[in-house]
Amino acid sequence: MSRITCVWADLGDDADADEWYESTHIPDVVAKLETTARSGDQAEDNVFKEVAGIDGTYMTIYDLPDGVDAKDLDAQICPALDKLPTDARLDARCYTEYASWDREDWRGDSHDIQMWIVVLWQPALAIHDEFVKWFQTEFTPGLLESPELLRTRIFKLENASLVKDQKHEQVDTESMYQYMTFWEFDCDELPWEILVYLGSSERWRYYIEGGHVKWQIGQYLVNRMYPGGVGSPAVKRTSIVLNGERKGATNDSDSEADIA
């Protein structure tokens, strides 16, 4: 099973910090870890207004090497604090893959991926096992009917840290959402017909609308791959919306402390 680190970043309105982070820091981390990474900007139009959003106008995903301690990886991924604006906030979480589904005809080329839908979630203890089973055996296969969906992956949280007020600290993972679902699409259009159908099911209404699962969602448009080159998502997409409307929002990790 693969491992990844996701970093959700808000760097304020500092254009120089943005440029350094995207063009120097991320490439340096990729070279140091001898790995690959992708990044994306939060979509401007928040189509999930009734659901808590994931904070971070900029999201980076690092593919992690095997056999390296998560805290050691976190230390290598964390940027130099003196290079960041005083109001910068970076939420870094290391995950281990729990389950994965690929579209049958997809060749596995990450250059095809144009959009991510990311959901952090935690079922209540009383329905944990039955929800995870339903999500794996019914909901996820149903969404795979979407021809735009290339891959679906479920991850479990391994380690977390937070940069805030120019301090880098580890976060207690027990108080955080333990699962992340990661949908990767070959376009920036959502499969609304399928989403509406699945969202009208009895199980969805019971688990989600009944408040048995706490969750946050984010939509990101992929715009860069590391190492870079011709054929990156930003080159292939004819148009891309940048600078998400949640820019500057704050949602400290301890806001997840009430998960059941």
Q: pTM of the entire structure? A: 0.87
Q: For residue 258, what pLDDT is reported?
A: 57
Task: Report the domain count for the chain.
Answer: 1
CB atoms within 10 A of CB 90: 23
Q: Considering the domain boundaries, does residue 83 fall inside one?
A: yes
More confident residue, 258 or 231: 258
Q: Considering the domain boundaries, does residue 21 fall inside one?
A: yes
Q: Considering the domain boundaries, does residue 257 fall inside one?
A: no
CATH number at residue 151: 3.30.70.100
Three-state DSSP class for residue 161? strand
Beta strand 179-185 with 115-123 is antiparallel
More confident residue, 67 or 154: 154
pLDDT at residue 254 tops 60? no
Confidence of residue 259 (pLDDT cuts 50, 70, 90): low
Tell me the helices (H) and strands (E) count for the chain, helix number first: 8, 9
Segments forming the whole domain that contains residue 211: 3-244
Encoded tokens for 127: 């329905």
Q: Considering the domain boundaries, does residue 253 fall inside one?
A: no
Q: Considering the domain boundaries, does residue 157 fall inside one?
A: yes
Q: Considering the domain boundaries, does residue 64 fall inside one?
A: yes
Query: What span, in angstroms and rounded, lies between the C-alpha atoms of 76 and 34?
Result: 12
What are 160-218's pLDDT values in tens digits? Answer: 999 999 999 999 999 999 999 999 999 998 888 878 877 788 999 999 999 999 999 99
CB atoms within 10 A of CB 227: 11
Q: Considering the domain boundaries, does residue 252 fall inside one?
A: no
Contact (Cβ atoms closer than 8 angstroms) between residue 253 and residue 91: yes
Query: What span, in angstroms and rounded, lies between the C-alpha atoms of 13 and 174?
Result: 33
pLDDT at residue 229 tops 60? no
Confidence of residue 140 (pLDDT cuts 50, 70, 90): confident
Q: For residue 91, what pLDDT is reported?
A: 98
